[in-house]
Structure 1
Amino acid sequence: MRLLIVIGMVGLLPILVANVVSYYSVTSKFKTETMAGNEKLLAQTVSAVELMFHQVENTSRQLLFSPSMQIFQSYTDSEKYEAYTEQDITHDQVNYYNYWRMKEESLRYMESFRVNNDFIESVYFYDSVRNQVLDFEASSPLVQKNLEAFTDNAWQSEVDSLSPMSVRVLGTRTLQKGFQQKKIMTIVIRTSFAHNAFAINIDADYLFNKALKKLDSADHYYVVDGDNQIIMTDQQQKLFQIWSAPAKPSKVNISSSVMNIDGTKQVVTSIHSSELPWTFVYTSDYNQVLRGTNAIMRTVILTAVILIMLMLIIVYFSTSKLYQPILKLSSTLRAGLQEVNASQSTSDELQWIGRLMHSTILERQELISKLNDALPMYREHFKLSLLRGQNQTLEQLKERLNSLGIKMTTGGCLLLLIEQEQVIEHGNGASIVIENPFEEAVKMLELKSSIEASGCMEKSYEYVEVNTLRLAVIVQLEEEFSEKMTAFFRDLHNKWLSSGTLCSIGVSRYVHSIAQLPQAYLEAKEALEYRRMLGGGSFICIDEVALPVTNHFTYPKEKADLVYRFVKLADSDGAAKSVNDFIKELEVRHLPFEQYQSLLVHFLSGLLEELIRMGINPVVHNQGENNVYTAFLKRSTIPDMKNWLLEFVASECQAVAGQLNNDDNSHISRLMELINQQIVSDVSLSVLATQLGLNSAYISRLFKQETGQNFSEYIKELRIERSKQMLAQTELQIQQIAEQIGYNNSYYFIRIFKESVGMTPGEYKKLIKQSSS
């Protein structure tokens, strides 16, 4: 009896112990992995929210530091200009128009700031001098009210407690908009003038839906303020009855634990943001974690039950005859084995656990993959923000560079701004406009490859794609190597020009830290502006072209726009009078000759852009000169420049009049001739416009007006009709016909033919032969 009991214990007890140990080991592992995954997910989510708020704060500061906003706020007697009558305007016209121009530019910047950020509900500007609020909302135009009459003024009490240029993020609150209620949070930024302030209302629900994503419907997010109040959540659980936010630390504090919330075990992960006065909490269902380990627990319980039953059977049979107990035991074991086998055939617990673990691992890998996919976007956004201004210390910039994996230091650098030329001027006055975004992207890649393949970029550098046409290259180097690097890019630029890659490069001055990159970027942009005078495909260093600032002078843009308007109307008298008014505005300032000449070049550049938009080539009317700028710069005195401008404007008014009265059929006829001659090649509208000496946009508009079709539709229809004639009248192969109508790929030709005719070229040829026979 004792021997049987010992044998049973030795055989079954280790299995029971192993199952129990395995259960607790797997449960602990699942718990640890879940907490680590939740902490990583929550930390990345917090970083995304912080980045979004930094974007709003930095953009707001750039708006505050803009010249127009600074000047607009500096008008202490703005109420006087707001209340001016027509008689008052006559006596103080300059100050009145300057005030309104600064105000309109500031309002335009503020409206652009709201429109370009989907999560911003509204933007308020509080003018403490006039005690008024300017309101920009997504659903209504600009509203200007006194503070007492403005309903949403809860944020105003925070302004007085803020120091100039400081920021405060307020908690969420409900805002009534008509019949709709919205949950918003407000960012208040006090300006450096009086008690003026910006109030930016952020759509809390939009921010929550965009930034806080859930992996499972049982998971929940909470955002808690410093008073331990929930300001954002996707449910109304009373989580904080049993949990309180951690004390505000000096660095990011992450913690995870398992809690019982409303009778359900939850894995609670919390993190306190070092940038925002909030604590982020993420809860996930702990039962989901234990789902796989429950199978192990069932196995342990089943093993314990079997062990107890077996011990009872042994005790029972020990009191009976030896054979009968053995027979009954054998029968019982066979029945139990059949039951176990039947259970395993319907549900294999180990396989089920394996599938659950595999599914969990795949979900974690998918999450990591999504976060890695988002990293390049954050990296490019940060590099672009370096050019537009960062309100961060060098230490903060260094930390952000390291966290995003950008191989840059905070030391000195040189910035080169490369821009593909959209309009290329030739000797005969023709122009080519680049309109294909795909070609622009390909050229951008070619420029990068050419720089990397040059083999001379021994210094650390980074690319920043400002837009589809502009590429900024930030080269980090010591100041003594800046001239050598400039010479290297000048040689590389010459190679690009010789190979047919037309672009211009603007080079900034050397800056001693990356915090000065916004200044370098503005200098490179200013250098590129001089290509209007020097021509496309120029290499321009700001040190070579920039003029010293002799006094404060505002360019008379309104008078220049008036000249452009009269020219477009072909009103030569009005244009001449406006030119005289514009030049008189410059003369009364007694500017140096170089600055006077530079301002007139800027005026001339704007006029040429307007003429080109109308499809008029100004070079043709330029008194025999091939380049307008060259002709203008030959005038060495101010009276000569003035007379030249008056003659040039008069001739362009005549050209516009001729353009307005001219019958455009001659252009269309010539265009049709070129199409018929070049249909066998890869014909394009820009190439044909160049051959005609006209602007491609003008030709496209005229073609559509005359034919009722756009250019590509007409070319496709013409090629299909010619292919039909060849199929009916010749014995040429499909490949030969495709080549003769301009399609190098016969498969593409067959697809286009079938889309247009409803059958393949072979089917069409058979149909023609059957009808003729």
Structure 2
Amino acid sequence: MKNFSQSIREFRMNSVFVRIFLYIIILVIGSVGLVSFFSYKKSSGMMIKEVQVSNMLILEQAQKSIDKEINSLQSDLMQMALARNLNRVLYLSLEQSYQEIEVIQDSIASLSAYKSSNDYIADIWFYQEKADFVLGTGGKYQRSLFLSEVCKYAGDLNWDEIFNQGGFRILGKQIVHQGAYDVPVLVFSESLPFINKNPKGMIVVNLNETLFKKEMANSNDEKIVFNYVVDADGNVIYTNEQSYPDYKDLELIWEAVKNRSEEMEKSKDTVELSIEGKPFTIQYVKSSVFDWKYISVIPTEYITKSINQIKDVTILVSAISFILSVILTYYIIAGLYQPMNKILNYINIIGSKKSVMRHGQKDNEFTLINGIIDYVYKENQSLQDNFEKNKPMLQDKFIYDIINGQMDRKNFLTSGVEIGIELPFPYYQIIVYEIGDRKSSELKRYRKSCKEHVEEMKKIARDSLGDGCRCYFMEKNDQTIVSILNTEKSFYEFSGINDYLNNVQAYLEESLDEPYTIGVGLSYEEIDNCYLSFIDALEALNYKTVKGQNTVIYIDEVNGISSGVILYSIEKETQLITVAKSGNREVVLELLQSVFQDNLLENNISPELVDHLFHALAGTAIRTIFEMRLTSDRIFGKKEDIYTEIDSKNGLEEKVKYISYVFEMITKYVTENKQNQQSHILEKIQRHLEENYSMDISLDTVAEVVNLSTSYLSFIFKEISGKNFVDYVNEFRIEKAKQLLDETSFNVAQIAEQVGYNSANSFSKVFKKYVGISPGQYRKI
């Protein structure tokens, strides 16, 4: 009450200030009122339009995202239809499916991997028509058991008709019974082979509704939007009606959608209409995928309800603004003429009055202010002492801001002088010293600290660079030191920087038991460009893989290095795989040497291309092992991650040595196991000929039987059998023909057909070539 009386008195004496605040209050209240009035008048149409525009954007984005997923699904299923393992399963009989366990397991693993990589797939399965079985992610089933127990569809699907139709198709929305739950899914199918009109198998995918729920989600929970996806026949693919169970006009909305969907001829449109006196907004977007329509229905009355709420809120805000303005004005007037209260409050913050008052002084405002000045001076002295202690940290921060281009140029150089960094010259250059590698960093507690290296480098800089260059250092981390050189342009006409770097190298080689690399950036004029030199130095360090460690790498050296492509053709990779699988160590090493000479001979290659080259060679080694149906522990005696190992090698020499070692181990394994492998392959070939000599036999079919590539089987066939493939097959058939000539009364034409020849004439020519006489003469003997 006392403060209020004082405020009234101040109002009479200094009414101009109070009037200004009253005018401000009136202005605030008037502005709020006018804005509220006009916003209420125009907000209804604007909000409806905003909701329509926003919802159309969501609808279009949902259509594009879902179309993209469906197209991606089609592409993925086409890739799976081309997979060798699934195509092999297509031609297996039921009995062969129990023998080819590895092919069946690979196919199941492929289905499981694809399902786990796609969050929207509820289930995926593969149907083989010939043997009438199904491969699912859980294993192999009879078709009737799978469709009645494992994946039971509630709808009436004619699977026999579906399996006889080719191409990628949608089978519609279905309910799948999974235990006690019914799960709605969209069913898609792809035929195998997908180019055949009469497929021999089918991949079926159950796509759950998560995709539609995610892409067509309502971002505003207070806004009611009914979403539908309708196919070309008017069937509902997806709807979110279940999200609004209490809404009373669902049937009315669905009738509006059905009636309106037949008139939707444009690619997209927004239509406002009234149904039984209730306003609705219908928006749709048509898709080229299966001719789907994406439809949204918004009850307009829910938007106008929000407008009425805005009106009520506006009135409340106006009332609150008036009350707050009155309260704020009161407190401003009450405290406007009390300047000493600020001083007393300051004393309360820094301590008691005794801490700023000298003994014996009078307790008045002036002595109080003098005491505060003395107190501030002492505090400032303490801050100066702390500043000196923290100067090294401030210097590091200063250099860090320079190399990252984060300084305020206006006062930056002045700030540097205050912390002991003078940069009087116009040219700036960055040098980065990288000490140690990953192995040495793991033993960092036994290493000499970077701080000790910095102190020695400062001494070397003082002795080598002279007065024409300023050099400052920063410890970036426990393996990296950064130095900034500030010089005149004429400094580079002498060998000062070269002498300095030579001395630094000599010191590091003498004091370190670990590798080091020094990257030198270009010199730039103006401090604003200093960060470019830091980028140059880091780029130079990247080339330690090419240039080797314990070196100084100038950015000028590597700027001209090619960033083209590696010279490693598919033909050379195929040749390398084939020779490695044959066990020929000398030829493998010659091929590797030719690859290294093509790419690394002149050392004119970027680090990225070095990585690409050795990753490609590592991939070749892994592919060789895979094609031999082996694992790394069989080759190396332990699990070996070739990619990880090649990345851990420092420098070209170590990478070349490791890749050579990998291929030597592969050829060594092949050599040691070659005899058993060849015997096993020949047994398989003989068994296949025994069972199929009357049919057409080619190198491709035999290669598939022995599970080898055609090129590799052609390469090793003569080594295995002692004959070329054609002679081997003909001799086998001629022996069978001899038996038939000796033991049966069949004529020559019948025998020719039984042993696999198209005509008696061609059979007689081959028989005479290998026996020396005709079949008729042989029978008479």
Report if TM-score (shorter chain) is over 0.5.
no
TM-score (norm 1): 0.38
- Rg larger in structure: 2
